Structure 1
Amino acid sequence: MNDIFTRDINGEMVSPNDEGYNELIADIFATMKTATEMNTGYRTPEEVHNYMGQILGKPLDKSTTVLPPLYIDYGKPVNIGKRCFIQQCCTFFGRGGITIGNDVFIGPKVNLITINHDLDPDNRSATYGRPIVIEDKVWIGIGATILPGIKIGYGAVIGAGSVVTKEVPPMTIVAGNPARIIKNIKTTKNKDI
C-alpha cells in the first residue's frame, strides 16, 4: 500500500482514520508555520525567496516575485515558473498539486484550491485532490478562485472575482460565477486585443 503522501498527491481519498494521516497533518502545520513566519512583518525579496524555498522544498526562481502574505497549506507539490508575479493575500491549497507556468500574473486574494471533500456525509472528513495547471502567460484577476482539477490555457485571462469550474481554453478571457468565455484574445501581431 502506498504511503499517505503518495496517495494524497495521486488524488486518492485520504481520511483522518488512515495510517500516516497524523504525519500528513504535521507536515501541513510545518508548512503553515514557515508561511506564517514569512508573512509576519516586512521581508526583503531575498528573505521571501528563502522562505519560499523552504515551503516548496525547492528553490523559487530568482526572477519570480511573491508578495506576502501568502497562505499555503502544503508547498511540496507546488511548482512555480520563471518571471511570475504573485500578489499579496493569495491562498494556495497545494496538496493536489499546482503547476504555475512562466510569466504568470496572479492578482491579490486569488485562491488556488486543489482539495475537495467526499460528498458522502458519513465520510465528509475525507479529502481528495485534483491538480491545477496554469500555463504560461496567464493573468488571474483579483479575488478569483480556481477549483480542483482545472487547467488554464496559455495566455488566458481570468476576470476579477471569477470562480473557475471548467477548463479555460488558451487565449480566452473568462469571467463570472461560474466563469464563462467572454471573448477570444487576438495578439498584437493581429492588431486587435
Structure 2
Amino acid sequence: MSLRGVVRRAVGSLVHRLWTTVRAAGAVSAASPAGYGFRRLGQGACLAFPVGAVFGEAWIEIGDHTLVGERVSISAGMGPGVDLGPGSIVRIGGSCSIGRGSHIVGHQSIDIGDHVFTGPYVYITDQNHVYDDPETPIGRQWPRNNPVVIGSGSWLGAGAIILPGTRIGRQCVVAGGAVVRGEFPDHSVIAGVPARVVRHYVPGEGWLPPHLGGGRAEPAGTRSAPAATGGVRAEPAGSVGAA
C-alpha cells in the first residue's frame, strides 16, 4: 500500500472513531442535561444524535427503553416558550422505536402506546390547516386540532402519514406510504391513499381480506383522507391533508 493510502486509511479510521464518540456524547437520555427538560424521559430511553428539532419538552413524555432515531423531530405547541397548560401533549410509550427522520407534531394530544415501531420518515400530527374561507390562503387560516391515538404493538411503515383524528387499534400494521385518517380496529393491516383496512384478524379464521370478512370489524363510517375523485364527501368541512 502506498504512503498516501496508509495516510487515508489512518485518517478515515480516526474520523470514524471521533464520529462514534460524538454520537455517544450527543445522544439525549434521562442522565444528560438535555434530558432534564422533558416532562418524562424514562430509564434507558434515548434520542440518537444528531437530534432533530425538539421543543416543548415540558409537554413531552417518552417511556422507558424507547429509542428515538437520528434527526427525529418531536414538538409540542407552535414554538418554544409557549405555556401549553398543566397536562402533557405528546406521549410515547415504553420500548418503542421511532425511525430516523420522522416527525411527531403535537398541539392537543398524541398518544403512542408501548412497543410501537416505525420505519423512517413517518409523519404524525394532530393539527392541520382548514379551508373554511375559500378566499383566504389556506396556510393563513387558523388550524384545527383532533387527537391521535396509536395502539400498543403497532408497526408504521416508512413514509406513513398519520393525520389528525386518527385512532389506530392495538397490534396494527400501517403500510409504507399510507395516508391514514379515521378509526381502525385492533389487529388490522391498513394500506393505501386514502388508507383502508386490507386485512383483519378474525379469531379462529386468521388474517382475512375484506371480501372474506376481514373488514367486518372496521367501524361503519370510518373516515379516511379524501379519495382522488369524489373524496370530499368523506372529509369533514374545514379539514385538509398533511400540513
Report the TM-score when normalising by structure 1: 0.68
**Structure 2 residue matching 1:178: 3-state secondary structure:** coil
List runs of 5+ in structure 1 lacking aligned partners: 1-40
Match of 2:190 among 171, 174, 178: 174
List runs of 5+ in structure 2 lacking aligned partners: 1-20, 42-61, 78-87, 208-243
Q: 1:94 to 1:44 in 2, by over 3 A?
A: farther
Match of 2:40 among 58, 75, 95: 58
| CA positional deviation for 1:125 | 2.8
1:100 is matched with which residue?
112
| CA positional deviation for 1:107 | 1.1
Match of 2:28 among 40, 48, 53: 48
**Bigger-Rg structure (1/2):** 2
Instruction: Choose between structure 1 and 2: higher helix proportion.
Output: 1
Q: 1:186 to 1:105 in 2, by over 3 A?
A: farther
Contact 1:45 1:65 in 2 (8 A): no
1:83 is matched with which residue?
95
* In 2: Cα distance, 1:42 partner to 1:100 partner: 30
Q: 1:77 to 1:53 in 2, by over 3 A?
A: farther
* Residue identity in the other structure for 1:49: S
Contact 1:69 1:89 in 2 (8 A): yes
**Structure 1 residue matching 2:95: 3-state secondary structure:** coil
| CA positional deviation for 1:105 | 0.6
| CA positional deviation for 1:126 | 0.9
| CA positional deviation for 1:131 | 1.1
CA-atom RMSD, angstroms? 2.7
Q: 1:86 to 1:52 in 2, by over 3 A?
A: farther
Per-residue Cα deviation, 1:75-116 (whole angstroms, up to 9, x for no partner): 751011111111100011111211111110111100002111
Report the TM-score when normalising by structure 2: 0.55
* In 2: Cα distance, 1:151 partner to 1:42 partner: 38
| CA positional deviation for 1:117 | 1.7
Q: 1:125 to 1:191 in 2, by over 3 A?
A: closer
* Residue identity in the other structure for 2:161: T
Q: 1:159 to 1:119 in 2, by over 3 A?
A: same
